[in-house]
């Protein structure tokens, strides 16, 4: 029986949308810019990414364009160009296939790659440096690479140093490299979970791993989160790169169990809006469009209801989807205390795969849109 650990790469394209925009317009390399919205003069909308120069001003993905411009009024806003991002994502993926066929494309800008076999011929660090150099110099795509025995440790390795970092994250490296970091940096720990942990003085990963804190952590966030995170940090989680894992989810959603049962509609709307921003961010980041919007409500008596609206056609229009989500809440909330709330999208396809039906009645309009 072979118990030798696998060698997994997590390869993350650094500020991917911004990198593609600099390929398309090299003048942007020396400018402070971000990607998102509908252009420089349109202050509404959400940023999908920020260049590293912009990040120095506290500008980041998910931020409203209005807030970003308030932080740095000379910020250049570059409109999203999803066909180009899709093209360069394929260049990235096809380049990697020469080294391994065990590749899982986790999103448009990141992959997991099992390099156990090829590492018998070339040292993993040498291979990582070769991949990083060629992607950057030949294709203009900077990447950070994490090397670990599990998918989780490889992912934490690629996040450890950006841009253009290469980090080995073995089990024995975890205390030194990860324990001092914020608990919010753990892959899988969301904003709300981080806040709950911070409220009980779990600030760092070391705090989380301290057995003396086990009981209060479980009380705050539940057994599932505690034990799965400990399993990840101990290097006992999966090392299987599932090449057949379906890349397009049937649905994407986010939900949260409220700290206290809430029966105030305006407060519930605020929580729903927070979840919507996160869910919509993933829809846009992965270049997806949807045909259905749904909300989930679990009341204090544990009765759970899910309400869905189907759209007339696929889209990812922020204002329309958000309006529908809020309307679902207003129309179906029964006024009693709520324990859990969630929002999501279903009937999802890639934007690049979308084709409108061309008929006798709409062909002129479609031709204008394509032009």
Q: Which residues are catalytic?
A: 110
Task: Say if strands 338-350 and 251-262 run parallel, antiparallel, or are unpaired.
Answer: antiparallel
Instruction: Judge contact between 113 and 8, C-beta under 8 A.
Output: yes
User: What whole-number distance in Å separates Cα of residue 113 and Cα of residue 117?
Assistant: 11
User: What whole-number distance in Å separates Cα of residue 371 and Cα of residue 367?
Assistant: 6
Our CA dihedral for 49, 52, 58, 63, rounded to 10 degrees, sits at 0
Backbone angles phi, psi at 218, to 5 degrees: -60, -40
User: What whole-number distance in Å separates Cα of residue 33 and Cα of residue 55?
Assistant: 9
Please give the DSSP secondary-structure letter assigned to residue 64.
B
Q: At what angle do helices 223-233 and 214-221 cross, to 10 degrees?
A: 130
User: What whole-number distance in Å separates Cα of residue 189 and Cα of residue 207?
Assistant: 14
Question: What are residue 339's DSSP bridge partners?
Answer: none
Locate 351 and state its tokens: 């934007």
Report which of 148, 201, 199 is spatially closest to residue 178, judged by C-alpha positions. Answer: 148
Instruction: Judge contact between 24 and 12, C-beta under 8 A.
Output: no
User: What whole-number distance in Å separates Cα of residue 318 and Cα of residue 280?
Assistant: 8
């Amino acid at each position: 029986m072979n118990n030798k650990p696998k060698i997994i790469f997590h390869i993350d394209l650094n500020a991917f949308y911004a990198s593609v925009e600099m390929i398309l317009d090299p003048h942007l390399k020396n400018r402070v810019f971000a990607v998102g919205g509908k252009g420089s003069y349109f202050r509404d909308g959400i940023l999908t990414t920020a260049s590293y120069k912009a990040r120095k001003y506290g500008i980041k993905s998910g931020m409203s364009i209005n807030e970003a411009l308030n932080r740095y009024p000379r910020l250049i806003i570059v409109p999203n160009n999803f066909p180009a991002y899709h093209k360069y994502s394929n260049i990235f993926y096809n380049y990697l296939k020469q080294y391994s066929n065990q590749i899982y494309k986790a999103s448009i800008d990141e992959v997991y790659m099992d390099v156990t076999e090829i590492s018998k011929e070339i040292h993993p660090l040498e291979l990582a440096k070769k991949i990083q150099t060629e992607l950057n110099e030949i294709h203009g795509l900077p990447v950070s690479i994490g090397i670990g025995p599990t998918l989780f440790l490889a992912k934490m390795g690629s996040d450890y140093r950006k841009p253009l970092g290469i980090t080995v994250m073995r089990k024995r490296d975890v205390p030194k490299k990860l324990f001092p970091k914020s608990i919010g940096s753990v892959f899988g720990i969301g904003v709300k979970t981080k806040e709950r942990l911070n409220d009980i003085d779990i600030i760092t990963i070391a705090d989380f791993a301290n057995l003396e804190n086990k009981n209060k952590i479980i009380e705050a966030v539940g057994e599932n989160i505690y034990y799965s995170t400990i399993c990840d940090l101990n290097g006992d989680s999966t090392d299987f790169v599932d090449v057949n894992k379906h890349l397009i989810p049937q649905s994407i959603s986010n939900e949260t169990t409220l700290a206290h049962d809430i029966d105030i509609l305006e407060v519930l709307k605020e929580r729903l809006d927070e979840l919507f921003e996160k869910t919509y961010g993933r829809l846009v980041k992965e270049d997806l469009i949807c045909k259905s919007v749904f909300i989930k409500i679990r009341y204090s008596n544990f009765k759970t209801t899910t309400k869905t609206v189907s759209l007339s056609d696929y889209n990812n229009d922020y204002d329309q989807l958000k309006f529908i989500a809020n309307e679902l809440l207003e129309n179906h909330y029964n006024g009693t205390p709520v324990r859990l709330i969630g929002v999501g999208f279903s009937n999802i396809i890639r934007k690049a795969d979308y084709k409108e039906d061309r008929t006798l009645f709409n062909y002129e309009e479609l031709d204008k849109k394509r032009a």
